[in-house]
Structure 1
């Protein structure tokens, strides 16, 4: 963990809420000169605190009306190439998040698809044939209340 002072934390706080702030707006908001703010921002990027900038899209507007969480339990003894199996899942456009987890399952996938029938096809054609798969559990999100919430910068 790198040392972050109150200016760094304020930069992170403000950028999480609006990554489209101009450098001038950001500098004004954190009470620094534009050059000081620019140097700090570059350092935060270089040191990996800021991992990148992205665009959030509406899944529904793109016709992806179903969000599901797929829990996978694997029998690693039956997997010839465990990393290859997981890598093939990560390449799928339907998979928007993948986490290894503790507890009953090994992985949790967050997928977005057009419909329940598309989810069924994904499970049948992509997930079920996976080498070493022991168990699948799927939960469909009924409604999304919060996504991409800002990380705590201890400024709030």
Structure 2
């Protein structure tokens, strides 16, 4: 892990909450000059700590009203690589997150779709046909209490 000093931590804290801060506003917030902030941000980007700058959309405003978690268990004896089988799903726009996990299931997918009919179609046409699927369990999210929270950067 890269060494982060207090100034780096304050910059990351501020940018996670508002990535659109101007350099001048950020510099004032973290008590550095704009040129110092710029150099530190460049270093944080080059080191891979800052992975990019993204635009977050409101899924519901975009018509994606259903969030579901899909739990996949794989029959590893019937396949060369479980990750390769799931890899086909990673290119799908419906899939927001995919995690290889420990426990009863092997993967958890988070998907966003317009409605339950679209979820059913996605499950039957994209998930069920995957090679080596042993079990699929789906849970529909009723309410999201926190999502995409900032990472802890300050002790």
Fold-level match, TM-score > 0.5? yes
TM band (smaller chain): over 0.9
**Distance in 1 between residues matched to 2:78 and 2:113, nearest whole Å:** 29
Moved over 6 A (4+): none
The Cα RMSD (Å) is 1.1
Q: What does 1:21-100 align with in structure 2 at a 5 Å threshold?
A: 21-100=21-100
8 A Cα contact 1:85 1:130, kept in partner: yes
What residue ranges of structure 2 are gaps of 5+ in the alignment?
Answer: none
- Name the TM-score, length of structure 1 as normaliser: 0.95
Between the two proteins, the alignment pairs up a number of residues equal to 155
Give, in whole Å, the separation in 2 of the partners of 1:71 and 1:115. Answer: 19
Instruction: Please give the per-residue CA displacement for 1:59-97, whole angstroms capped at 9, x wherever unaligned.
Output: 111111100000000112212453432221100000010
**Correspondence 1:125 to 2:128:** no
Shift of 1:124: 0.8
- Relative to the length of structure 2, the TM-score reads 0.96
Counterpart of 1:151 in 2: which secondary structure? coil
Equivalent runs, 1:139-150 vs 2, <5 Å:
139-150=139-150
CA distance in 1, matches of 2:48, 2:73: 32
Q: Show the counterpart of 1:2.
A: 2
8 Å Cα contact 1:98/1:107 also seen in 2: yes
Post-superposition offset of 1:41: 0.4
